[in-house]
């Protein structure tokens, strides 16, 4: 009988290279929000993929970048700390983008640990075959030595099975860290808050200040209904930013809340009610006590 294998895999790279999309694809459901805005992922999100033979625990880390705030410093530190603590590290670079200083900086960090390393060329759906081949040839020599090189698209799924095979092959024998059926260790309230933030980023686009964060708390059920109820607070740093988040006549916050509620109902299989408000938390990205309280 083949021994069960399990382990932890860290996905690292500069911001916006497709880490969250890839985690969601491997897990088979949404556990991390996705946006084309850099530094969308701020916390270390675990996604879990379990089969009869193995269990992959995937760490979707914040994109490593040049920090401008205490929050940026903390997210960088969190991403770096995972490199030596996992069983496999996946470094992601984009197929259609030139290798830049950010890619080289993260690659240098990856090369400093003895952990098995896989280089993932992501977003191949946005690049030609020639560009993908050129990128593979380039990264092979420029970013150091890796145990495997995998081109893929987290969006379409092309190449993802090949990556899963490479990961499974490098897992040690081990226990089932999470029971079957568990796809993430994040609480439901965290998913609620993150989905509202994702939808705000989508609806407001460039008008939305990057310095928003969202917190959610489950409310007591009313009567005997099966509706999940959450109080959702969108936090901004300035009074002037509230109007951007709320939108004219409340259009932005209303549309984002509706989109988040509909996706939550599909994911959770039950009705959801969101009581959403916008509050000012001055300079929360730069205040240690605010970051501690918000879980950063």
Long-range contacts of 68-75 (CB under 8 A, 24+ apart): 69/285, 69/286, 70/285, 70/286, 70/287, 70/288, 70/291, 71/42, 71/285, 71/286, 71/291, 71/296, 72/39, 72/285, 74/291, 74/296, 75/39, 75/42, 75/43, 75/296
The pLDDT of residue 294 is 58
Q: Which of 113, 140, 169 is the last residue of a domain?
A: 169
Q: What is the mean pLDDT of the segment spanning 190-207?
A: 83
118-163 tens-digit pLDDT: 999 999 999 999 999 989 888 887 899 999 999 999 999 999 999 9
Same domain for 70 and 117: yes
pLDDT tier at 287 (50, 70, 90 boundaries)? low
User: How far apart are alpha carbons 259 and 108 in whole angstroms?
Assistant: 40
Range 239-253 average pLDDT:
88
Does 252 reside within a domain?
Answer: yes
**pLDDT at residue 259, rounded to an integer:** 94
**Whether residues 44 and 135 fall in one domain:** yes
Same domain, 58 and 152: yes
More confident residue, 47 or 66: 47
pTM above 0.85, yes or no: no
Where among 107, 138, 169 does a domain terminate? 169
CATH classification at residue 290 = 3.30.300.20
Cβ-count burial 152-166 (b if 16+ within 10 Å, e if not): bbbbeeebbeebbeb
By the 8 A CB rule, do 252 and 200 touch? yes
Nearest in space to 295 (alpha carbons), one of 201, 190, 218, 217: 190
Listed residue (77, 58, 63) closest to 17, CA to CA: 63
Instruction: From 141, 169, 197, give the residue that closes a domain.
Output: 169
d(CA 34, CA 265): 18
pLDDT exceeds cutoff 70 at 267: yes
In a shared domain, residues 61 and 104 = yes
Pick from 3, 5, 2: nearest CA to 174:
5
pLDDT band of 197, cuts 50, 70, 90: confident
Left if phi > 0, otherwise alpha if psi is -120 to 50, otherwise beta: which for 6?
beta
Report pLDDT for 43: 55
Which of the pair, 133 or 37, is modelled with greater confidence?
Answer: 133
Range of the domain at 98: 5-169
Angle between helices 188-204 and 239-246 (to 10 degrees): 80
Is residue 111 domain-shared with residue 233, that is, in the same domain?
Answer: no
Give the chain's domain count: 2
Answer whether residue 175 shows pLDDT above 80.
yes
Whether the predicted pLDDT of 41 surpasses 60 = no
DSSP string, 61-118: PPPP---SSHHHHHHHHHHHHTTTTSSEEEEEEETTS---HHHHHHHHHHHTS-S-EE
Q: How does pLDDT run across 229-241, given as a tens digit for each residue? A: 999 999 888 888 8
pLDDT number for residue 78: 66
């Amino acid at each position: 009988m083949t021994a069960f294998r399990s382990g932890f895999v860290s996905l690292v790279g500069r911001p916006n290279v497709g880490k969250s999309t890839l985690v969601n694809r491997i897990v088979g459901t949404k556990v991390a929000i996705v946006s084309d805005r850099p530094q969308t992922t701020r916390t270390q999100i675990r996604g879990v993929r379990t089969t009869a033979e193995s269990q992959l625990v995937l760490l979707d880390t914040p994109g490593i970048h040049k920090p401008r705030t205490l929050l940026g410093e903390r997210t960088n530190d969190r991403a770096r700390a995972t490199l030596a603590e996992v069983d496999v590290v996946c470094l992601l670079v984009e197929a259609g983008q030139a290798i830049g200083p950010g890619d080289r900086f993260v690659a240098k960090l990856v090369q400093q640990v003895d952990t098995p390393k896989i280089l993932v060329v992501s977003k191949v759906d946005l690049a030609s075959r020639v560009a993908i081949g050129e990128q593979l040839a380039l990264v092979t020599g420029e970013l150091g030595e890796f145990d495997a090189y995998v081109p893929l698209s987290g969006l379409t799924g092309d190449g993802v099975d090949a990556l899963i095979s490479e990961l499974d092959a490098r897992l040690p024998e081990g226990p089932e860290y999470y029971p079957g059926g568990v796809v993430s260790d994040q609480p439901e309230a965290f998913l609620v808050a993150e989905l509202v933030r994702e939808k705000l980023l989508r609806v407001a686009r460039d008008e939305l200040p990057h310095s928003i964060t969202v917190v959610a708390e489950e409310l007591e059920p009313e009567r005997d209904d099966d509706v999940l109820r959450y109080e959702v607070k969108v936090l901004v740093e300035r009074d002037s930013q509230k109007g951007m988040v709320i939108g004219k006549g409340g259009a932005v916050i209303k549309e984002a809340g509706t989109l988040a509620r509909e996706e939550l109902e599909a994911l959770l299989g039950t009705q959801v009610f969101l009581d959403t408000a916008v509050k000012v938390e001055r300079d929360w990205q730069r205040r240690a006590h605010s970051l501690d309280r918000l879980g950063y």
